[in-house]
Amino acid sequence: MNNNLEVERPTYTNLNRLQSQVVSAATASLRFEGSPNVRLDELQTNLVPYPRIHFPLITYSPIITARQASNVDMNLVKCDPRDGAYMSCCLLYRGNINPNDVNQSIKLLKEKKDVRFVNWSPTGFKVGINYQPPTTVPGGDLGKTDRSLAMLCNNTSIRHAWLRLARKYDLMFKKRAFVHHFMDEGLDESVFVEARDNIAALIDDYKDVEK
């Protein structure tokens, strides 16, 4: 945020306003007309192939200040799949959007070798276009734009986040750090072991899905 919005020390207000843009994009179909539009139940259906695989990654563009809004090239689609494969990808456009440009962008994405989909869902793009442009808070961090894109995707690379979490968990649990607080409240130590096993199983689930 300090790079995009020139905010050195983001507050909860800064973060909440950014999050509200994503939530607004995901729920725009409830309030405004669009073609094609994507309902909330469609998002869930398209993003979650299996019950446990339900942790989407979210990207929003553009993240720019009011000063930048007047001179920044509005290139909306930027993907960084990192070390993983997509199971599904929902592109939620708002504002002055040409459907032909969207189709061309998706065509280019499919041709990129570093944008990988799992073999059982090779073309898992879902597109929603809502012609109501995004709204910003007057005097806020985000500059007003005539279009935006929120991408919600299910990508196996999120397993690396669980791996980092598991490593930190192991370090703390090995020293029994903070465990006594929970045990004093009647929690059995076996619950911590079961929770760790559950994370390990989730990581394996994502590996299996990618294979």
Residue 5 in this model has a pLDDT that exceeds 80? no
Residue 111 in this model has a pLDDT that exceeds 90? no
Residue 103 in this model has a pLDDT that exceeds 80? yes
pLDDT at 68: 72
Highest averaged pLDDT of the listed ranges 64-73, 123-132, 199-208: 199-208
Residue 137 in this model has a pLDDT that exceeds 70? yes
Give the integer Cα–Cα distance in Å for 18 and 61.
10
pLDDT at 62: 86
Give the integer Cα–Cα distance in Å for 89 and 27.
16
Phi, psi of 59 (to 5 degrees): -130, 140
- How many other C-beta atoms lie within 10 A of the C-beta of residue 155? 24
Give the integer Cα–Cα distance in Å for 30 and 95.
15
Q: 42 catalytic, yes or no?
A: yes
Q: Tell me: the pLDDT tens digits for 141-190?
A: 888 899 999 999 999 999 988 999 999 999 999 999 999 999 999 999 99
Q: Tell me: the pLDDT tens digits for 45-101?
A: 889 989 999 988 888 888 877 777 666 555 554 445 567 899 999 999 999 999 999
pLDDT at 79: 45
Q: Could you say which of 8, 33, 42, 185 is catalytic? A: 42
